Structure 1
Amino acid sequence: MPPALLVQATAVELLALYRSRSASPVEALRAVLAHVERHGAPLNAFALLDEERALEAARASEARWARGEPVGRLDGVPVSVKDLLLTRGWPTRRGSRTVDAAGPWTEDAPAVARLREHGAVLFGKTTTSEFGLKGLGDSPLTGITRNAWDPRRTPGGSSAGAVTAVAAGFGPLAVGTDGGGSIRVPSAFSGVVGCKPTFGRVPAHPASVVGVPPHVGPIARTVGDAALLLSVLSGPDDRDPFRAPPPREDALYLGALVAVDAPGASDALDPSGALDARFLRRVRVGVSATLGYVDLPGDTRACFDAAVALLRRLGAEVEEVAPPFADPGGVLRTLFAARAAHTVRELGPEQRALLDPAVQSAAAQGEALSAVAYLEAERQRAELALAMAVFHRRFDLLVTPTSAGAAPLIDGGALPPSFAAPFSLTRQPAISVPMGLTSAGLPLGLQIVGRHFEEALVLRAALAIERESAPLRAPPLRAS
């Protein structure tokens, strides 16, 4: 199969190709690595690439497929991991010059361990802002990561490299983290699908509840691929005391797969038979274009209105709603400041001088916080979560834009207001899916929010929208 087609293939399509022996894991990996070699330098999506180990894993996968003995759900699929997640054998420097690359690096985060168990071919670690504490795509360690749609623009952060890699065709899947929108907003800026699951659905290690703990989640080019990756990442791990119980059945995620349309796929992946437009009938959807505190520019409003109209055509019971809360930005900033202070608490003056100025500033704010101020922010977080619980007594889903605008310029551009933060605070599942392009040809995202642990409904609604929307073209890439 031509390498260009392998680069464009989804994970579900790659698995079907392996099954039919139309392509092999080694061919797919070589195509991805060649694509990175050709187009990767201007975008700077990777903190680390390991061709040798990746090829070793791909050859092992190829042998399993040849024997008819693939393991798990991702055997042979190239996957990258955000450089905040521990990965055995690779340094996890978290975008910081203060982290020693020497290690030792002997442990996998739970999500990475699950990827290995399911046969994924790990080939690199993607860039992040320092310690994941900034919504832009640069760090003192790796420099500036650029948007695949326009290298003059940021992909956002902190999962900058992950979304850039997936958008550019540097692998069909990436694992990111989201503490205040760090999967969803960059996904919107890059025209890809990014899902923040319910906190605890995907276990984390080291576990954290300081400030705004990150949610580990999938980034992909399709909802089906995101659902597949989430099904792999989810599950118990004793190292995370806050983990959720496993899903009642695999169909919770696999039922949302677009794989029923993929070559060679089995109808068993859709046990409910609900993957058609009729699924959204009688689903109660509250929609808000502003959440009461964001003004939308014309392009974003037009795309959002079109998405709402599509929901109505698909049979959803749609109602415009006023938000059940005020702007939670102050709460988020307080909790992020506490997290920043806790993160750098053991660094001496010389190491602190190496930090991103934004991290230095946030840590200083956190160190100045009183216990009363921190607990007040936690109280307001709890009130927000309660308000959303009351909201969901009436509505199954909340739909908003993901961000008020498209990706800003790196030089002098300001991040547009985000709709993502409230649902990091409430720890609900939320997904961003493409909802169109601005007049300048830049992607915009639609956010779908569900009740705690109702990822299945969120994914199915996202899939219904994806199926009825025009697919985005691949972003234009420059050669390195």
Structure 2
Amino acid sequence: MTQATELVEGYRTGALSPVDATQAALDAIEQYDAQVNAFVLVDAEGALAAAKESESRWRAGRPLGPGDGVPTSVKDALWTNGWPTMRGSTMIDPAGPWDEDAPSVARLRETGAVILGKTTTPEYSWKGVTDSFTYGATGNPWDPTKTSGGSSGGSATAVGLGMGVWSLGTDGGGSVRIPAAFTGTVALKPTYGLIPLFPPSAFGTLSHAGPMTRTVRDAAALLDVVTGFDPRDWSAMPTPARSFLDGLDDGVAGLRIGFSADLGFVDNDPEVEALVRSAVDVLAALGAEVTEVDPGFTDPIDAFNVLWWSGAAKVLSGHIVDNRVDPGLRRVAELGAAYTASDFLDATAVRMELGTLMGRFHQQYDVLVTPTLPITAFPVGQDVPDGSASPDWTDWTPYTYPFNLTQQPALMVPCGFTVAGLPVGLQIVGNRHADALTLQVGQAYQAATDWHRLTPSLEAR
């Protein structure tokens, strides 16, 4: 599968065409989407028109930017001018008005990316799988009877099947990393504020936007496009001074990597743990100084749930909630509505303590490496795996949500497949603002392995 960086170089030399690349993405949507349900909206006519304009610019030697002509999708949680943003909900009026782009979508347009359409999300992106009353459930490229994960499940499945090269997702507790792990793709939750958000999320400063791709190099290239100050986001960071592609191939020799197989409190599927340990061995063989160590925190699930369920209560406040609302969202919103200001401040204190602990951890270790999830994809249409003792998605995502609390960059790369043929993911967590180094570690691992090159079962049929 051609990477975005390869497409752009081909456009520059004339060896490749934005029109051909866009048509290939649209053909993949036509071929696969009925089986996996990754898109809520596809604008084939508009995409081809944009691709033709891009081709003209490249021929004239005047591309708009480093993403000109790259076929891209956008999670239906980010505003898109002219298209409704339904967030998987029946509570939103599709009539709009829809007259403004989210900051990251605006940056895509400014670089000339070809926006194919919008991808699926559960209602208000509240959980770790992707299904909704509005659009149904999204399946996995490796087995459509399994979940894609969520909440950016449509985006992960789209890039996994070549239905566009780039996608933009959002991540409030793992929502780009969870589906990337389940689908064998790549996703980065960057440092909070690096990709501006507008309108702000009901889940507050837990929520990030992030690139979703097939390769680390493409994630870095997309990050270059969508970062940058935007006045609509009070917490937006300054525009980065250098490209995230600079130094990407510098390797890991001499880097200090802390590896935690379980964070001290997680039980892993044995196949998952074995594959993650093998991936860490690759990093060690590349010259990294690997130490097996737990960061030293207990499971912050209670604090996270207070913050997340409070956000769910905010989502439903002021709405007449009927049977066309996700029952799980309704349940946790009721829990969230019962929390007090003191509960919220106590959870915030846990969050700050965790951030301090991880800040100190990164004085000794450049990155922390963990599994991305302790399990592999389970049946589509379920919020939790069979036999789960809890109805909550946070019960099976213990490696992802801690780093939304701390706002650190966290990168997901595929690191193998189980005997059943399901992907397993490796998570690389960097210190706040060390996004470039986090990507560098992921690129070193990916350059030494071939997991990202394998063809999904659905595409191989």
After TM superposition, the score normalised by the length of structure 2 is 0.95
Aligned residues of 1:193 and 1:432 also touching (Cα < 8 A): yes
CA distance in 1 between partners of 2:56 and 2:110 (Å): 16
CA distance in 1 between partners of 2:313 and 2:125 (Å): 13
Look up the match of 1:19: 12
Change (3 A) 1:183 1:41: same
Change (3 A) 1:479 1:249: closer
1:333 deviates by 1.2
Look up the match of 2:325: 355
SS at match of 2:144: coil
Among candidates 272, 283, 287, match of residue 311 of structure 1? 283
1:477 equivalenced with 2:455 (yes/no):
no
1:478 deviates by 6.6
Aligned residues of 1:401 and 1:446 also touching (Cα < 8 A): yes
CA distance in 2 between partners of 1:354 and 1:256 (Å): 49
Instruction: Let me know the Cα RMSD of the aligned residues.
Output: 1.6
CA distance in 1 between partners of 2:247 and 2:120 (Å): 29
CA distance in 2 between partners of 1:441 and 1:256 (Å): 34
Look up the match of 1:129: 122
CA distance in 1 between partners of 2:195 and 2:307 (Å): 21
- Give deviations 1:132-172, integer Å, cap 9, x for gaps: 10111101110011011101100111001000001111011
- Give deviations 1:96-130, integer Å, cap 9, x for gaps: 01111111100000000000010100011000010
SS at match of 2:416: strand
CA distance in 2 between partners of 1:255 and 1:438 (Å): 34
CA distance in 2 between partners of 1:149 and 1:57 (Å): 31
1:59 deviates by 1.1
% identical aligned pairs: 46
- Using the TM superposition, name which of 324-333 and 161-170 deviates more: 324-333
Look up the match of 1:364: 334
CA distance in 2 between partners of 1:153 and 1:93 (Å): 24
Look up the match of 1:262: none
Among candidates 105, 116, 119, match of residue 112 of structure 2? 119
Look up the match of 2:272: 300
- Give deviations 1:70-106, integer Å, cap 9, x for gaps: 1111100000000000000100000101111111100
Gaps of 5+ in 1: 1-7, 258-274
Look up the match of 1:443: 423
Look up the match of 1:380: 350
CA distance in 1 between partners of 2:398 and 2:139 (Å): 19
1:210 deviates by 4.2
Aligned residues of 1:294 and 1:417 also touching (Cα < 8 A): no
Look up the match of 1:179: 172
Aligned residues of 1:256 and 1:459 also touching (Cα < 8 A): no
Look up the match of 1:406: 376
1:310 deviates by 1.1
1:424 equivalenced with 2:404 (yes/no):
yes
One-letter amino acid of the counterpart of residue 404, structure 1: P
Look up the match of 2:390: none
Look up the match of 2:246: 255
Change (3 A) 1:439 1:244: same
Change (3 A) 1:15 1:168: same
One-letter amino acid of the counterpart of residue 356, structure 1: D
Among candidates 433, 442, 445, match of residue 453 of structure 1? 433
One-letter amino acid of the counterpart of residue 436, structure 1: G
CA distance in 2 between partners of 1:336 and 1:22 (Å): 48
Aligned residues of 2:295 and 2:358 also touching (Cα < 8 A): no
Aligned residues of 2:187 and 2:413 also touching (Cα < 8 A): yes
Gaps of 5+ in 2: 387-392
Look up the match of 1:272: none
Among candidates 323, 346, 354, match of residue 295 of structure 2? 323
Aligned residues of 2:137 and 2:381 also touching (Cα < 8 A): no
One-letter amino acid of the counterpart of residue 378, structure 2: P
Look up the match of 2:231: 238
Change (3 A) 1:59 1:124: same
One-letter amino acid of the counterpart of residue 476, structure 1: S
1:209 deviates by 7.2
CA distance in 1 between partners of 2:76 and 2:203 (Å): 19
CA distance in 2 between partners of 1:30 and 1:65 (Å): 17
Aligned residues of 1:207 and 1:239 also touching (Cα < 8 A): no
1:339 equivalenced with 2:341 (yes/no):
no
Look up the match of 1:265: none
Among candidates 387, 390, 396, match of residue 360 of structure 2? 390
1:162 equivalenced with 2:155 (yes/no):
yes
1:282 equivalenced with 2:254 (yes/no):
yes
Change (3 A) 1:393 1:478: closer
CA distance in 2 between partners of 1:417 and 1:26 (Å): 40
